[in-house]
Amino acid sequence: MKLTDYVVQFLADRGVAHVFGLTGGAVVHLFDSVAKSGRMQPVFHHHEQAAAFAAQACSRANRKLGACFVTTGPGVTNALTGLAAAWLDSVPCIYISGQARLAHTSRGRNIRQVGTQHIEVVPLVRSMTKYAVLIDEVRSIRYHLEKACFLATSGRPGPVWIDLPLDMQWAEIDPAALPGFTPAPAELPAAGGPAAAQLDACVELLRQSQRPLLLAGYGVSLGGAQQAFFELIGRCDLPFVTTWGAVDLLPSAHPRNLGRPGIAGQRAANLAVQNCDLLLALGSHLCLPVTGTMFSSFARAARIVMVDIDPDELANRPIPVHLPIAADVKPFIEQLLGRLPAGTRFGSSSWADVCDRYRRRYLAPPPRTADVISPYDFVHVLSELSADDDVIVVDGGGTNVYVSFQTFAIKGRQRMILSTGLCAMGSGLPESIGACFGSGRRRTLCLSGDGSMQLNIQELQTIRHHQLPIKIFITDNGGYLSIRGTQQEFLAGNYVGSNAAGGMSLPDYTKVAAAYGLPVVVIDRPENLRSALAGVLSRSGPEVCVVRASPVQEIIPRQGFDRRPDGTFAARPLEDMAPFLDRQEFAAAMQIPPWNPPAP
């Protein structure tokens, strides 16, 4: 059996239905085996970065192993951004690169290059993978594939990389004679279920709490704990907030859902986090976009219980954690439920009333604008018109991300996908492709900014080639609006590199869409917004929709800053977001004393 045939069969046996990539001289044997197998669909992109993004988005959508094949040299270096996205968000993917013949690799010698387009791959990717290996012996292929897939999907998931020389690819093997992999004790997940004493301590903290709050992270989905989380919310009637990676756990309309906290989060969520007296963080490592950098002010009245599968994350948090629990979130919730009889309630009735007020008062989008389309209006209306089973993919551009996650209301079976850790501009188109294939070609709404579109614009051709049901919404606001906001607030409006006057211009996307043979619609008036969006969503197939939006829209709300007399800036705590509430209203919303920052 040809070795590449074995590789494809191995991956197909593990549920891989699509492999994303770009063909090249060092990877033609792999793709030839894919085509002949009939068990896996190759999806060919026009840049390896796009293929790498698509593979991990496919994994997010179907919760299976993602797969990406790239050629040697520039194929590898092009794929690194997508690899980094999978690494930071703990997405299980296998990346396989074709390589020069084994004799044409450096293999420990102090030389830069031997073979054509050769580059030493393993040292390059080691820091962003759970496992990376060069196949240097034909009989080792089964061992390394089994080890790579085991590590990618066990414990805290993540990407793995196999570098496969050409002369290994075309070699003949006897599958029955190949040695397999058995994990050593050190390779088994460090965290499993929680200790009984930790569960007891958590229950006691919940019982003592007057203002408890759950914070759900992407680890709830990664750990397959969605159903257990639903049951915990339902049984105990606990209020909760979600990180960006967990927004699609439960519908936004759930009466206990207080939204998404963070430096550009929703005011209701931040008020709840900052005023709670117990914060139970499940599957979240409490990253800086959630906590901000004022660590001593974050949830300062709360005892924090943090459940994370990675002990290193628990050991390296700048936030003081009262009860760190290194455990898989699914067995933690299941065993916690075993200690909580039906009808268990935590917290005071007054806290429940406060949370209800937060929901009613501080989750609504900003007021509609009459003369120009606000990006908030656009996302709000699109959310209302979207179908219950749509897949929403958010490109990593700043304003696009903030507005989408502050405004889009999840409903039904909707999924919302973004590489939240890397948050790269240009991720939207390729991630839409991967998510669309991974979800069984469900309709996919790609939300992108005009600046981000340029970074992987070639993927419009991939969408057209496969006639994918992807609706591409481009918010045209004259360039990099979030950067202009920073320049306006901190640099006196010196818009260097963020608009045409500052040296950066963008094309007419109606002409670009037409060049790719895609239908295109332009929406430029607020009064036409709803009807035009409804028209786009009523039609089948791919389509581009350019939304001419305000070029000066602020992020509302956002973390506030004060300018000190010396010209430096001091952040305000997350409960006090800009634009600032009336001081009487703000005081009424607070359940704890106001923040008294230490002297600078």
User: Is the confidence at residue 514, as pLDDT, over 80?
Assistant: yes
Half-sphere exposure of 232 (CA within 13 A, CB side): 29
Dihedral, 340, 344, 347, 350 alpha carbons, nearest 10? 170
b/e map of 333-357 (b: 16 or more CB within 10 Å)? bbbbbeebeeebebbeeebbebbee
CA 82 – CA 22 distance, rounded (Å): 14
pLDDT at position 81 is 98
pLDDT at position 599 is 54
Task: Report the percent of the chain where pLDDT is more than 90.
Answer: 84
Q: What is the pTM for the complete model shown?
A: 0.95
- Any idea what DSSP says for residue 269? H
pLDDT at position 106 is 75
pLDDT digits (tens, 9 = 90+) for 351-369: 999 999 999 999 988 778 7
Token pair recorded at residue 309: 């599968």
DSSP string for 71-106: -STHHHHHHHHHHHHHHHTT--EEEEEEES-GGGS-
One-letter-per-residue 3-state SS of 299-339: CCCCEEEEEECCHHHHHCCCCCCCEEEECCHHHHHHHHHCC
User: Is the confidence at residue 3, as pLDDT, over 90?
Assistant: yes
pLDDT at position 214 is 98
pLDDT digits (tens, 9 = 90+) for 166-225: 898 999 999 999 999 999 888 887 767 889 999 999 999 999 999 999 999 999 999 999
pLDDT digits (tens, 9 = 90+) for 343-353: 889 999 999 99
User: 597 pLDDT band (50/70/90 cuts)?
Assistant: low
- CB neighbours (10 Å) of residue 596? 7
Q: Please say whether the beta carbons of 40 and 19 come within 8 A.
A: yes
pLDDT at position 119 is 87
**Residue 245 corresponds to which amino acid?**
G
Q: Please say whether the beta carbons of 425 and 483 come within 8 A.
A: no
User: 124 pLDDT band (50/70/90 cuts)?
Assistant: very high
pLDDT digits (tens, 9 = 90+) for 41-55: 999 999 999 999 999
Dihedral, 365, 369, 374, 377 alpha carbons, nearest 10? 40
pLDDT, averaged across the chain = 94
CA 432 – CA 591 distance, rounded (Å): 42
pLDDT digits (tens, 9 = 90+) for 62-75: 999 999 999 999 99
pLDDT at position 566 is 82
Phi, psi of 89 (to 5 degrees): -100, 10
- Give the mean model confidence (pLDDT) for residues 441-452: 97
User: Is the confidence at residue 600, as pLDDT, over 80?
Assistant: no
Taking each helix axis as running N to C, give the angle between helix 196-208 and helix 329-337, from 0 to 180 degrees, rounded to the nearest 10: 60
- Give the mean model confidence (pLDDT) for residues 330-345: 92
- Any idea what DSSP says for residue 294? -
pLDDT at position 598 is 59
- Give the mean model confidence (pLDDT) for residues 161-165: 96
Domains and their CATH numbers in the chain: 3-187 (3.40.50.970), 196-362 (3.40.50.1220), 375-548 (3.40.50.970), 558-589 (no CATH)
User: 115 pLDDT band (50/70/90 cuts)?
Assistant: confident
- CB neighbours (10 Å) of residue 21? 30
pLDDT digits (tens, 9 = 90+) for 384-402: 999 999 999 999 988 999 9
User: Is the confidence at residue 244, as pLDDT, over 70?
Assistant: yes
